[in-house]
Amino acid sequence: MSVEVRRGRREDVLGALRPVFHYFGREPTEESASRVLRVLSPDRIHAAWEGDEIVGGASAFEFQLTIPGSVVPAAGVTVVGVLPTHRRQGVLTQLMRAQLDDIHERGEPLAFLWASEGAIYGRFGYGLAGLSGEIELLRAHSRFTGPVDTEGRFRLLSLEEALDALPPVYDRVASETPGMFGRTSEWWSSRVLDDPEWRRGGAGEMARVVLEREGELLGYALYRLQMGFSDGASTAAVHVIEAIGVTPEALSAIWRHLLDIDWMERTKAWLLPVDHPLFLLLEEPSRMRFRVEESVWLRLVDVAAALRARSWAQEEDIVLAVADSFCPWNEGSYRLDGSTTTEAADLRLDVRDLGAAFLGGFTFWELRRAGRVEELVPGALQRADGAFRTDRAPWCPEIF
Ligand SMILES: CC(C)(COP(=O)(O)OP(=O)(O)OC[C@H]1O[C@@H](n2cnc3c(N)ncnc32)[C@H](O)[C@@H]1OP(=O)(O)O)[C@@H](O)C(=O)NCCC(=O)NCCS
């Protein structure tokens, strides 16, 4: 029987979630469906139907994504799944076709996602756009090389206070950090600060601490404490969910605060930017055992619009010849201002590799060393790196 992909309706959400929930090891409930619908518009759901049964689904959040120099609409691809009974029959390919056509028609220049497995999305034009890190640091080895600015005070917030106080702090950092996306108040309440038992991973309730000075909030952290004892000594850990500071001093102070929580033996954190200041703050950086992992994958759905929206570290006259077999409307040669040209290109690459470089997560030289870009004019790699350079690594602090 053939499979047909249709745009979802509100009543299809449970069916469209079922395939991916199968891999989570549970059935979606009415409650899971209504949670999702608080932040997902039903017409962003695509469902793959076989007869009257849904066998696959893919959806997209409507995000505002920070890229170097601006903020653009971007599809946040989520809850992608095909039942194991229908795997490798092209169902995902049909879903991606429908979804990317839809994103293109809506005029969103970018799509991005967290991949469960790195092998899935390259064929659809997504490139790994950045890296993130995971740490585990013993309190006994967490000394900083110098003193931390300790002016200001820390305060634990109630959920209601946090819903009010944290968004503006986050927004200040998100608006200048490529890879971060804007959060609606619904997103804050039903995703970030929602604290059901199943999200705690064996640790305690979410704590919300802010750093304030003269009435101004300079940073915050969301964390959990996990109690533990072994042989009479503490094995307790701080699980850092998110730590944000609006200035370098505030961020250092927030981390010092987290690393100094008494009774804890260690601090664990995930989804940190790879250029985290802890490398330079800690006296013994290797003690944090920084493990590097994949972060988000980015797809330029409209290459011209994406290039137009981005700012450049330096003016360069470069022509990029872009190949895009899955979204052929993008095929062509582009200048950095997004205009197309028939002039000879300086660099030739696939759209997924432009996605890898777009937020500043990988340089063209790195792509070259992996055989992912062709330098047609000597010196073009260096010029492209000069233009694409950013002052910080992309960071997406949250899996969606
Ligand atoms: C990933 C998933 C959606 C793929 O669905 P699918 O319908 O089997 O994919 P398709 O049949 O359209 O595959 C298209 C191509 O991608 C390849 N592919 C698909 N999933 C892959 C995977 N997990 N690893 C490696 N290759 C994969 C297929 O081999 C096929 O390649 P081909 O065109 O060269 O033959 C499905 O396996 C799934 O639901 N996995 C578990 C949930 C999950 O990981 N979701 C993604 C969340 S980010």
Residues 191 and 260 placed together within one structural domain of the fold: yes
Overall domain count for the chain: 3
> Residue 286 belongs to a domain with what CATH number?
3.40.630.30
pLDDT at 50: 97
Any domain includes 120:
no
Catalytic residue chosen out of the listed positions 61, 121, 181, 290: 121
What range does the domain containing 327 cover?
302-388
Q: Exposed e or buried b for every residue in 308-332, given b needs 16+ CB within 10 A?
A: bbbebeeebebbbbbbbebbeebeb
Q: Given pLDDT bands bounded at 50, 70 and 90, which one contains residue 195?
A: very high
Is 400 known to be catalytic? Answer: yes
Q: Exposed e or buried b for every residue in 53-63, given b needs 16+ CB within 10 A?
A: ebbbbbbbbbb
Any domain includes 118:
no
Any domain includes 176:
yes
- The neighbouring-strand residues paired with 154 are 211
Nearest atom in ligand 1 to the alpha carbon of residue 121 is 16
Is 290 known to be catalytic? Answer: no
Q: Given pLDDT bands bounded at 50, 70 and 90, which one contains residue 159?
A: very high
3-state SS, residue 306? helix
- Rounded Cα distance between 272 and 270, Å, is 6
- Rounded Cα distance between 150 and 256, Å, is 10
Any domain includes 372:
yes
State pLDDT tens for residues 327-342: 999 999 999 999 999 9
Residues 67 and 191 placed together within one structural domain of the fold: no
> Among residues 293, 322, 339, which one ends one of the domains?
293
State pLDDT tens for residues 285-330: 999 999 999 999 999 999 999 999 999 999 999 999 999 999 999 9
- Mean pLDDT of the 253-275 span: 98
pLDDT at 270: 97
Residues 140 and 250 placed together within one structural domain of the fold: yes
Residue 78 CA, ligand 1 centroid: distance in Å:
14
**Mutate-to-test residue for ligand 1 from 88, 94, 112, highest number of ligand atoms within 8 A of CB:** 88
pLDDT at 151: 85
> Residue 324 belongs to a domain with what CATH number?
3.30.1050.10
Give the chain's mean pLDDT.
Answer: 97
Residue 337 CA, ligand 1 centroid: distance in Å:
35
Any domain includes 196:
yes
Residue 400 CA, ligand 1 centroid: distance in Å:
19
Residues 276 and 311 placed together within one structural domain of the fold: no
State pLDDT tens for residues 80-136: 999 999 999 999 999 999 999 999 999 999 999 999 999 999 999 999 999 999 999
- Mean pLDDT of the 247-261 span: 97
- Rounded Cα distance between 94 and 90, Å, is 6
Nearest atom in ligand 1 to the alpha carbon of residue 88 is 11
Nearest atom in ligand 1 to the alpha carbon of residue 83 is 39
